[in-house]
Amino acid sequence: MSNLPLIGLDIGTASIKLVELIPTGSDKWKLLTAASTATAGQAMSEKANLASVAQTIAKIVREAGAKSRRVVASLPDDKVSTHLLEIPLLPDSEIGQALQWQVEQYLPMPLDQAVWSYQVVKKDQMAGQMEVLLMAATKTLVEAYRQVLETAGLEPIAFETELVATARATVVASSPLTAIVDIGASTTDVGLVRGGQLLFSQTLPTAGEAFTRSIETALGLDKTQAESYKNTYGFSTNQLQGKLLAAMRPVLGVISTEIRKTIDFYTSKHPGETVKTVTLAGGVAALPDVVTALSAGLGMEVVVGNPLARITLDQAQAAAIKGYEPFYAVAMGLAERND
């Protein structure tokens, strides 16, 4: 494990979050700095905006006072193909070579246009089998992110999906099968995690912006007002005569149904495995009473993930980040990468 500080950079569609951590011992880190800034949504999907994104990143690094230039950055889950494969048990040194011969059948793009990697999830010595999580993205996507980071004066160490980072930051290694749900601005990412390792993921096209639009329509507000009401009152039944909850309930119902379908799909393929807890992350996780509302929709226990559980921070840092902890889950997980 490196003792050097590392930046975790979560490049979202609505905001960019930066965290700089330094290891302080086994599975422990100290927070050096954290910052965020709003972006014009979907910035990374348009080549014309890459220079602007690089400028924004350079500015947040500078203003945050980050010391390191080494960075691990997030890739959006909906742009990364993931597959959980079962292959014969092999020595670690032979896994990559073995996958090389069969990886193409799992990729949604030609092999020569892909960047792929894998993580060993489970080894079953008795059965002589192992589970490997295969992840792949287009070279074009990875190169675009690399170009942006280098233009911003940073040194890219690695790229990871948002769910992999969230799992590392919020789910302890001893946890049984757990669902993590990251409700961002434009998408909701759902992952199944065991022992801190992502096993399966699904991206839903309904998220925070859909809640805002439902408030705009139901209450006749403009987008700024609707966003403010959502962030202030959330899913409370005691505010505005419950009008916000009534407006957002259909959207929450769609998200809850899709989360349930994702969980059921995975468990149907793995008899005997059950999910009893959903760990919530992302900006929506900070909204008042969201846990109660989502738990009712799912019929399951829902908890807000705490990405600061293994992080040391001073009083000023704790005060600055209070209430926004789930917002930084991806960035924290990225900065905790230790290889």
Q: Long-range pairs for 120-126 at CB < 8 Å and ≥24 separation?
A: 120/92, 120/95, 121/84, 121/194, 121/197, 121/199, 123/89, 124/89, 125/89
Given a cut of 90, whether residue 10 has pLDDT beyond it is yes
Which band of pLDDT confidence, cut at 50, 70 and 90, is reported for residue 52? confident
Question: Within the chain, where are the H helices?
Answer: 50-64, 92-100, 139-151, 162-170, 208-219, 223-233, 243-269, 290-298, 315-321, 329-335
Q: pTM here?
A: 0.89
Q: In this structure, are 123 and 199 located in the same domain?
A: no
For residue 240, what pLDDT is reported? Answer: 86
User: Are both 196 and 248 inside the same structural domain?
Assistant: yes
Looking at the fold, whether 100 and 185 belong to one and the same domain comes out as: no
Residue 40 domain-assigned? no
pLDDT at 196: 82
Q: What is the mean pLDDT of residues 243-268?
A: 94
Residue 91 belongs to some domain of the structure? yes
Pairwise CA distance, residues 240 & 59, whole Å: 39
**Domain CATH code at residue 128:** 3.30.1490.300
Residue 316 lies inside a defined structural domain of this protein: no
Same domain, 196 and 287: yes
Identify residue 153 by its one-letter amino acid code. Answer: G
Q: What is the pLDDT of residues 149-172, one digit of tens each?
A: 999 999 999 999 999 999 999 998
Which is more confidently placed, 19 or 13? Answer: 19
Note the pLDDT tens digit of each residue in 144-155.
999 999 999 999
- Please check whether residues 181 and 282 belong to one and the same domain: yes
pLDDT in tens, 185-210: 889 999 999 888 899 899 999 999 99
Residue 241: left (phi > 0), alpha (psi -120 to 50), or beta?
left
pLDDT over 60 (residue 142):
yes
Judgement on whether residues 282 and 236 belong to the same structural domain of the protein = yes
Question: Quick one: 117 and 236 in the same domain?
Answer: no
For the chain, the average pLDDT equals 90
Instruction: Give the pLDDT score at 224.
Output: 93
| Containing structural domain, residue 278 | 173-305
Shared-domain flag, residues 235 and 188: yes
Residue 35 domain flag: no
Residue 45 lies in a domain: no
Which band of pLDDT confidence, cut at 50, 70 and 90, is reported for residue 269? confident
Phi/psi of residue 301, nearest 5 degrees: -70, 135
Same domain, 187 and 236: yes
Question: Quick one: 179 and 296 in the same domain?
Answer: yes
How large is the average pLDDT for residues 23-49? 79
pLDDT band at 323 (very low <50, low <70, confident <90, very high): confident
pLDDT higher than threshold 90 for residue 292: yes
| pLDDT attached to residue 46 | 53
- What pLDDT, on the 0 to 100 scale, is given for residue 41? 53
Within a domain: 187? yes
* Distance in angstroms (rounded) separating the CA atoms of residues 107 and 85: 12
> Do 272 and 186 share a domain, yes or no?
yes
In a domain, 152, yes or no: no
Structure confidence at residue 49 as a pLDDT band (50, 70, 90): confident
Residue 230's pLDDT band (boundaries 50, 70, 90)?
A: very high
- 3-class state of residue 141 by DSSP: helix
Write the DSSP string, 268-292.
HHSTT----EEEEESGGGGSTTHHH
339 found inside a domain: no
268 to 48, 199, 202, 274: CA distances (angstroms): 44, 14, 15, 9
The CATH number of whichever domain residue 238 belongs to comes to 3.30.420.40
**Nearest CA to 303 among 322, 323, 326, 319?**
326
Say if residue 122 is in the same domain as residue 225.
no
Q: d(Cα 138, Cα 151) in Å, to the nearest integer?
A: 20
Q: Give me the number of domains the chain comprises.
A: 2
